[in-house]
């Protein structure tokens, strides 16, 4: 039946429509049932009934649906009751321990994209992946399905490259440095990154301290065309859009689901058009992957998937036992990055970034990769390239001014070593937690500055400086440190 749209500025957190009781009866749907809107776009929605808000000829759209449908008030949409989702039978099949075919995964993923699965059904799907595992073939098919249901970027150029780190390490903001070095060395890098989930900051949060990261696909093309690279937020681009919905559900329990992790990363790289990819897997005590052995098992899966998609991919296994760089928090990390790009700043961050850059340039089949990367950094070309990218993303020329405005938060507190000895452990989780307590990533100027890494320390030497915009947050962070002792000295 046809109903007239009424757009409500109503944030429901899910694609909901409001129907009048009479319209619901006519459609033979009840609350929480799903309807299909087939025109102007095929999309599914959940039914709320709220007769005071809409007449029997109207359909009220939540903000989430208004955004998808983009129709004006009064415009007609074609609405019908939705058949029972076939995908839910397939999810049950996976729960029952069976293997899903490519076609079946396509159906599940496209129904996720079209909103025809509830969050509970997505939870069953991810739980089944976690507990019944997925074989390589399924993981590849899942990746394909995730690419297929989203937008894609296409670039010309021989050296289309990307990097990815599976995360978990505080600081460790190598991406902007690697992108700057590699772009200066002639690679094309349409890089998209995420915002923080549980960490102090995501790459997108850090870049956002000086550049606009919310680019459209068209803007990304323009920036990459102009500068050879970009540092955009991947969130709203629609590359592998099923991923956001799945991650939203996984995050409720903070689950790490391997096939989903593999498909999520690989589908986004494929959709962004990369052909040469470096995957950084930090491992060791205190990181996501505790042993090199486990890291290699995961790495092998990345390689196998890449092979099937005809991509050149190299996995590097790096030290994940302590934070990388000194700053943790958007502004503090950006300050580290700018320092490294100017041949100053934390050596560990510089070394790791250079190492990743060399590997990526090498992977593209370019000779003298080491010399090229080192030269790009030492000569200041990488810094110039970074400036160029930031200015292109902002559409301005005020890079230097923006850099000048980068200031850590106004309240600071330095904690010193109570005794001489050896720092044996700096907990990544601990540093991330302190940052969150101090207000990151929302408060971009908050965070932790590490004066020392694992190694010798003398009494009264500074360990960390905390930055916050509120005294109460500072107090909470100090309490946390006292309780959990994220830095161990013996």
Contacting positions for its own copies (CB under 8 A): 8-14, 18, 31-32, 46-53, 88-89, 91-92, 95, 118-124, 127-128, 130-132, 249, 252-255
Q: How far apart are CA 465 and CA 478, in angstroms?
A: 11
The CB-of-385 to its own copies minimum distance in angstroms stands at 37
CA 17 to chain centre: 29
Strand 16-19 and strand 58-61: the pairing is: antiparallel
The structure tokens listed for 453 are: 């890494």
What b/e string do you get for 462-473 counting C-beta neighbours within 10 Å, with b at 16 or more? ebbbbbbbeeeb
Beta carbon nearer to its own copies, 192 or 443:
443
Of 256, 351, 398, 400, the catalytic one is 256
Phi-psi region of 13 (alpha: psi -120 to 50; beta: other; left: phi over 0): left
Least Å from the CB of residue 246 to its own copies: 11
- State how far the Cα of 455 lies from the Cα of 461, in Å rounded to an integer: 13
Q: Minimum distance between the CB of residue 296 and its own copies, rounded to whole angstroms? A: 23
d(CA 446, CA 433): 12
Nearer to its own copies (CB atom), residue 51 or residue 339:
51
CB of 135 to its own copies, least distance (A): 17
How many whole angstroms separate alpha carbon 271 and alpha carbon 264? 11
Q: Closest Cα to residue 206, out of 357, 361, 325, 342?
A: 325
Between 29 and 213, name the residue whose CB sits nearer to its own copies: 29
CB of 112 to its own copies, least distance (A): 13
Q: What stretches of 170-275 show up as alpha helix (H) in DSSP?
A: 175-184, 203-207, 217-227, 242-253, 258-271
Between 243 and 336, whose beta carbon lies closer to its own copies? 243
Q: Is 48 a catalytic residue?
A: no
CB nearer its own copies, residue 205 or residue 425: 205
Strand, helix or coil for residue 231: strand
Place of tokens 């990151």: 440
Question: Catalytic residue positions?
Answer: 256
């Amino acid at each position: 039946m046809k109903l007239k749209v009424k757009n409500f500025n109503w944030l429901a957190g899910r694609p909901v429509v409001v129907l009048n009781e009479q319209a619901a009866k006519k459609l033979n749907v009840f609350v929480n049932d799903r309807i299909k809107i087939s025109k102007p776009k095929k999309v599914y929605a959940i039914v709320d009934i709220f007769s005071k808000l809409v007449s029997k000829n109207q359909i009220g759209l939540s903000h989430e649906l208004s955004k998808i449908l983009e129709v004006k008030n009064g415009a007609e949409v074609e609405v019908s009751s939705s058949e029972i989702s076939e995908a839910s039978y397939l999810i049950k099949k996976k729960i029952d321990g069976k293997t899903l075919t490519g076609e079946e995964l396509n159906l599940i993923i496209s129904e996720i994209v079209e909103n025809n699965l509830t969050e509970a059904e997505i939870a069953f799907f991810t739980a089944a992946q976690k507990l019944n595992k997925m074989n390589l073939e399924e993981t590849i098919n899942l990746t394909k399905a995730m690419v297929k249901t989203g937008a894609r970027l296409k670039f010309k150029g021989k050296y289309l490259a990307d990097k990815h780190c599976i995360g978990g390490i505080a600081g460790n903001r190598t991406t902007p440095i690697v992108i700057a070095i590699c772009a200066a060395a002639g690679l094309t890098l349409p890089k998209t990154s995420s915002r923080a989930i549980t960490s102090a900051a995501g790459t997108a949060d850090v870049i956002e301290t000086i550049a606009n990261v919310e680019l459209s696909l068209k803007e990304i093309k323009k920036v990459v065309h102009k500068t050879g690279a970009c540092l955009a937020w991947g969130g709203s681009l629609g590359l592998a859009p099923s991923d956001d919905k799945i991650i939203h559900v996984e995050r409720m329990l903070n689950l790490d689901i391997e096939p989903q992790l593999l498909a999520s990363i690989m589908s986004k790289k494929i959709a962004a058009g990369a052909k040469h990819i470096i995957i950084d897997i930090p491992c060791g005590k205190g990181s996501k992957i505790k042993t090199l052995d486990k890291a290699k098992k995961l790495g092998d899966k990345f390689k196998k998937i890449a092979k099937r998609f005809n991509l050149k991919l190299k996995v590097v296994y790096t030290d994940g036992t302590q934070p990388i760089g000194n700053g943790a928090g958007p502004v503090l990390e950006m300050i580290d990055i700018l320092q490294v790009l100017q041949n100053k700043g934390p050596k560990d961050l510089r070394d790791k970034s250079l190492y990743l850059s060399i590997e990526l340039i090498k992977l593209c089949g370019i000779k003298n990769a080491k010399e090229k990367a080192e030269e790009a950094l030492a000569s200041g070309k990488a810094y110039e390239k970074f400036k160029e990218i930031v200015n292109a993303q902002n559409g301005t020329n005020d890079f230097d001014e923006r850099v000048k405005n980068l200031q850590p938060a106004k309240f600071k507190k330095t904690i010193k070593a109570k005794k001489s000895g050896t720092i044996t452990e700096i907990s990544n989780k601990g540093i991330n937690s302190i940052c969150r307590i101090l207000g990151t990533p929302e408060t971009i100027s908050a965070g932790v500055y590490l004066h020392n890494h694992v190694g010798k320390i003398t009494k009264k030497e500074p360990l960390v400086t905390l930055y916050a915009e509120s005294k109460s947050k500072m107090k909470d962070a100090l309490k946390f440190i006292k309780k959990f002792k994220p830095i161990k000295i013996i």
